[in-house]
Amino acid sequence: MNLIQRATNITLNPKAEWPIIADEVTTAPELYKSYVVPLSVIPVVASFIGMSVVGMSVPFMGNVRIPFFTGLITMILSFGMGLLSIYLISLIINALAPNFGSEKNAMQALRLTAYSFTPAWIAGILNLLPSLGMLGVLAGLYSIYVLYLGMPVLMKTPKEKAAGYTAVTVICSIVLMFLVMALVGSLGGMSAYRGLGMHMGSRSVETDGALGELAKIGKNMEAAGKKMEAAKQSGDTQGQVNAATEAIGAALGGDNQAEVVDKDKLKSLLPETLAGLKRTSFQGEKSAMGGFKISKAEAQYSDDSNRHMTLTLTDTGGSKMFGAMFAWGLMEQEKESDNGYEKMGKADGRPMHERFQKDSGSGEYSVLVAGRFLVECRGQNVDMASIKAAVNAIGFANLEAMKNEGVKK
C-alpha cells in the first residue's frame, strides 16, 4: 500500500485500517524510510517556513521572524528528535503492555506509534501560518483517538483497558515531548523553545486525576467511533461527519464542559481603563468544535506614550482536557537571565504563567481561575506590576462566583 493511500485510510477510517496494518510484515527501517520520514518532515519544514520566512504577527511588535540560521538549525534538530521520539514512545507502549493485559511486541508498538501520528503530521502543513497553530492541536488530539482504536488490534489490549492504556501512554509521551523540546531549544537557541528548557526548581505532575479524565475521554471516543461505524454501514455520510465531530469534541473533553458564559457577560468584566490607559478596542466571540466550546472577550488599551496592554478573558467551560494543555498547570518552573525572567507555577493556588523581557519592555501574566476562566494580560512599555494589576482588575471573586454557571446536572 502506498503512502498516500495508507495516510488517507488511517486518518479517515482508522478502525478499518488497523486490522490491515496488524497483518502486514514490515521492518523498522522500511517503516521509517517509506512512511515516517516523508510524513514527519511536513510539520518541521512548514514550521521553518512559517516562523523564519512568513513570520508571526505579535501585538505592538508587528511581524516577527525567527532568524533564518536559527530556524534552519532548529528544523534539523526537530526533525531528528522527532524520529527518535517515535521510537521512544513505541518503547513506552511496549513496556506498559503487560500492565494492561496486552501482548508485548516491539514492532507492533512501533507501527502503532508511527501510524497514530499521521493526522498530526498531515496537519503540520498548517504551521506555514503560525496563527493556525490551534488547528494543529486539534489534529494532535485526533491522533490520540487513532492511537486508542489501534491498541486492541496491534497490542491485543482488552477493550475495557484500552482507554487506560492510551491515557498512560499519552501522559508519558507528553513528558517525553517536553524533554525533547527542551533539548532542541537548548541546542538550537530558538527562543520559542527556551521556555521549555528552563531550569526546573521543582516539578509537580498530578497524574491520578489526569488518568481518570483521559480514561473517560477514551470511553467517549469509543462511543463516537461506534456511531461512525454504524453511519458508514448504513451509508449515512452526514452521520459519519457528525460522529467524527463528536469524536473530536470528546478528545477535547467537551463532555466535561459546562455551558460557557455568554461573551457579552465576559465583556462586561473588562474595565474601561487600565493603569491610566484608555480602552481602544473591545470584542467578544464564541467558538465551538463538536461538544467543545469557548467564550472569549478581549480589550486593547493604550495611551499617547506608546504604552499598550491587551486584556483577555476566556471561559473554557472547565474542560479537563483543555486545562491539561496548559503546561504551567502541571509543572512548576522558573528561569531568569540578565534580560528578564519567566515563571510557571501557582499563585494563591491558581495555575499561572509570568514572563517579562527587559530589552523590549514586554511582559505577560496569565492565571487560570476556578478551573475554567483564563485571564491573560500582555503589555508593552509597562511594568509587570501594572500587568498583574490588570489581571487582578477582572475580579477573581466575580469569576469564582460564576464557576458553576452552565454546569450539567
CA 284/CA 151 separation, integer angstroms: 41
Residue 189 · residue 78 · CB < 8 Å: no
> Grid cell 511594568 — which residue?
383
CA 175/CA 46 separation, integer angstroms: 24
CA 185/CA 199 separation, integer angstroms: 13
Q: Give the residue ranges of DSSP H helices in 189-330.
A: 191-194, 207-233, 237-251, 263-267, 320-324
**φ, ψ for residue 337 (rounded to 5)?**
-140, 180
The grid cell for 296 is: 472569549
Q: Residues near 378 by Cβ (< 8 Å), separated by ≥ 6?
A: 59, 309, 310, 362, 363, 364, 387
Q: Give the residue ranges of DSSP H helices in 49-158.
A: 68-96, 106-116, 118-123, 133-154
SS3 call for 62: strand
The pTM assigned to this predicted structure is 0.50
Burial of 106 (0-12, 13-18, 19+ CB in 10 A): middle
Residue 55 · residue 64 · CB < 8 Å: yes
Query: How many Å separate Cα 162 from the centre of its chain?
Result: 22
In 304-404, which ranges are E strands? 308-315, 333-337, 340-347, 350-357, 362-369, 373-380
Q: Residues near 372 by Cβ (< 8 Å), separated by ≥ 6?
A: 258, 315, 316, 317, 318, 319, 323, 403
The Cα-based distances of 83 to 2, 115, 132, 151, 201 in angstroms read: 20, 13, 24, 21, 29
The grid cell for 2 is: 502506498
CB burial of 275-309 (b: ≥16 within 10 Å; e: otherwise) equals bebebeeeebebeebbbbbbbbbbbbbbbeeebbb
Please report, in tens digits, the pLDDT of each residue of the chain (409 residues total).
Answer: 688 889 988 988 899 999 999 999 888 888 998 899 889 888 888 877 777 666 655 544 445 566 665 666 677 777 877 888 898 899 889 999 998 999 999 999 999 999 999 988 888 877 776 555 556 666 777 888 899 999 999 999 998 888 888 888 888 777 776 666 655 554 444 333 333 333 333 333 333 444 454 455 555 555 655 665 666 677 766 665 565 555 555 544 555 567 888 888 999 999 999 888 999 988 888 766 555 577 888 899 999 988 999 998 988 777 654 554 444 344 566 778 888 888 878 888 888 888 898 887 888 898 888 888 889 898 999 999 999 999 998 889 889 998 888 777 6
* Residue of 292, 280, 284 lying closest to 266 (CA atoms): 284
> Grid cell 534552519 — which residue?
72
* Residue of 52, 137, 50, 120 lying closest to 85 (CA atoms): 120
> Grid cell 469569576 — which residue?
399
